[in-house]
Amino acid sequence: MVCDVVVYNIAENATQQQVEEATWAVTALQAESENFKTRKIFILVSTVMTWAMIKPQNLDAVLTEEDFRRRRPHPSFRNHNILEKLVLKMGRGSKLIGYVVASGLQYGKGENLFHYFFKVSWLMRSSKVPIFGDGTNHIPMIHVFDLGGIIQNIIQLKPKSKYILAVDESKNTLEEIVKVISEALGTGKTTKVSEQEVMKTTDFTPEELQYLKVNLRLEAVTIKDSFGLSWTSEAGMVENMENIVKEFRDTRQIHPLKICLLGPPAVGKSTVSQKLCRHYQLQHIRVKELIEEKIRKLVSWKSINRDRDGENISDNDDDDAVSAHAQLDRINQSMEVNAGRLSDSLVFDILKEKLNSNLCRNRGFVLDGFLKTYQQAQQLFINEEGGKQEAVIKRPVFDKTITPEHIFSLEASDDFLTRRVQDLPESVAEKMGYTHEEFPPRLMKYRQLSGAEDTLLDFFDELEIHPVQIDVVEKITEMLGRPTSYGLSPEEQEEEERRKEEEQKEKQAEEAAERRRRNEAALAEMAAQYQEWQKNLAELEKQEEELLEARSLPLRNYLVEYVMPSLSEAMVDCCAVKPEDPVDFLVLDVLYLVR
């Protein structure tokens, strides 16, 4: 065997065939170990499911490697247990050392068994993420990077302990794990599902469900005492969920798409936003609708808590109710003072809350035309401590979580926008604020803001998020080509048709003349080629005759000198004798004469 270390992984999703192959590999290596020139290491990455049926001495007991001899495997993992014992027998008087790494349920870089909960939370097709069973079972876990680090430490340190638990410091229950996943990616809500309903799911195999039902509290003493492990997630998934979510996004390539659409009124921002949101499954953020939605939620929360008056309400619910009441009061006061409009500070608070929601953070959003000025963008996207650092650094510190990464500015001329608004039905124009009284001032204000010293586009340029400016009319005309209808009078239209017909006839005549010219040139070329071919053929025949004549001279001389005399004499004899078979007679006579 060339390599010094063999690592065999049967930790998760290992088939029976793979376990049998690993058993065969161990047996074969043991038989060959006497011929090894140097000491070899065999590391079996197994699973904590070989501990699943162990009975702790008390309910709160934490098991360590010292208890590994008492471990009892789950019925589906008995072959894993047999293989572990086989590996542990290695090293007794041989050059092959065996280690068993009992791995906790793995997570990180795709999440393995926990991927289902990440996916359900991210999609938000259901408001609640299911918890299988009562969720009180403790699940031992390990990050895949930390598992790799443990294997590396075994290779380098060759510890005395041959059985090593690979679990992190967390001792979280399934309910705690699912809840924190839901909070990080979904609505934060969970629901418990009975075992009967769990068995109906097609998202897990029966064996995978057994992993999620394991109830073990394990502590990796060997790793703590003997290894210098540089942990990726020592505290576990629950405590490191932010980093785990980032890994999940990177591995699954589901990064949020954050877009901001700018432009004058009536340029088509909302239409484009809706199409982008449908295509990329993004959140369409229009401030007016966002404020209305927020007020509805606060009013609904207030009415729900009023109906529950007298019931037992938790402290958290009570705090939320107080906060909702206070926020609704501030909104009402602001709208009274500002003639039915909210102050910018409250609008930004509502907008920031939405942009920081899981839907926007995980999937992305299209911010539809709310921002108008440099100062508004600063107030919304710049961190509070950013202003203090402006003197030290050139570029402001902005909140990367909510700041758009793609800025598109739709542009069109005032004439085009005015005509577009005039063509709208009156009811639509009134609803969108595009009436004859409202639209011109709005457009004028937009042009004034666009000509300011520091514009909204300048703000994003300073953050090195360079806006893309798109002239709507130019882009459309580029796609459609030149105009084809100018509203000509019947006489002008008839004249235009005659002109086009004459141009078509001239074009056809030119094409016909060109075809005739090409045909004549082709025929002349073919005639010249034919004459050249005839000339070459005559020359070839002449050369062949001369060659045949030159080759025939020696043969003719031979026949005249040696064959013709005998043949002539034989023919005279044949004429005199007149045999029945003249040919045979000539042959025999010529042969006789030649001899």
**Residues 433-473 pLDDT 10s:** 888 889 999 999 999 998 988 999 999 999 999 999 888 76
Residue 475 pLDDT class (50, 70, 90 cuts): confident
Could you tell me which residues come within 8 angstroms of residue 239 by beta carbon, excluding any fewer than 6 positions away? 170, 233
Q: Check residue 486 and give its pLDDT.
A: 44
Q: Which helix (H) or strand (E) holds 434?
A: none
Among 121-130, 137-146, 254-263, 358-367, which stretch is predicted with the lowest mean pLDDT?
121-130
Residue 370 pLDDT class (50, 70, 90 cuts): confident
**Residues 11-24 pLDDT 10s:** 888 888 999 999 99
Q: Specify which residues 364 forms β-bridges with.
A: 257
- Percent over 70 (pLDDT), the chain: 89
Q: Check residue 326 and give its pLDDT.
A: 84
Check pLDDT > 50 for residue 388: no
Give how far Cα 76 sits from Cα of 79, 80, 138, 211, 583, Å: 8, 9, 20, 11, 104
The mean pLDDT of 242-258, rounded to a whole number, is: 89
Cβ distance 138 to 236 under 8 Å? no
Q: Check residue 392 and give its pLDDT.
A: 46
pLDDT, the chain, mean: 85
**Residues 82-107 pLDDT 10s:** 999 999 988 766 788 999 999 999 99
- 359-397: buried (b, 16+ CB within 10 Å) or exposed (e) per residue? bbbbbbbbbbbbbeebebbbebbbeeebeeeeeeeeebb
Q: Check residue 488 and give its pLDDT.
A: 56
User: pTM for the full model?
Assistant: 0.69
Q: Check residue 238 and give its pLDDT.
A: 94
Residue 328 pLDDT class (50, 70, 90 cuts): confident
- Percent over 90 (pLDDT), the chain: 42
φ, ψ for residue 41 (rounded to 5)?
A: -120, 130
Q: Check residue 477 and give its pLDDT.
A: 66
Among 156-165, 382-391, 509-518, 583-592, which stretch is predicted with the lowest mean pLDDT?
382-391
Rg of the chain on CA atoms, in Å: 46
Q: Check residue 485 and give its pLDDT.
A: 46
The mean pLDDT of 318-347, rounded to a whole number, is: 82
Q: Check residue 497 and give its pLDDT.
A: 84
Burial class of residue 537 (count of CB atoms within 10 Å of its CB; 0-12, 13-18, 19+): exposed
* Domains of the chain, first to last: 5-252 (3.40.50.720), 257-480 (3.40.50.300), 490-594 (no CATH)
**Residues 274-303 pLDDT 10s:** 999 988 889 999 998 999 888 888 887 766
Q: Check residue 391 and give its pLDDT.
A: 44
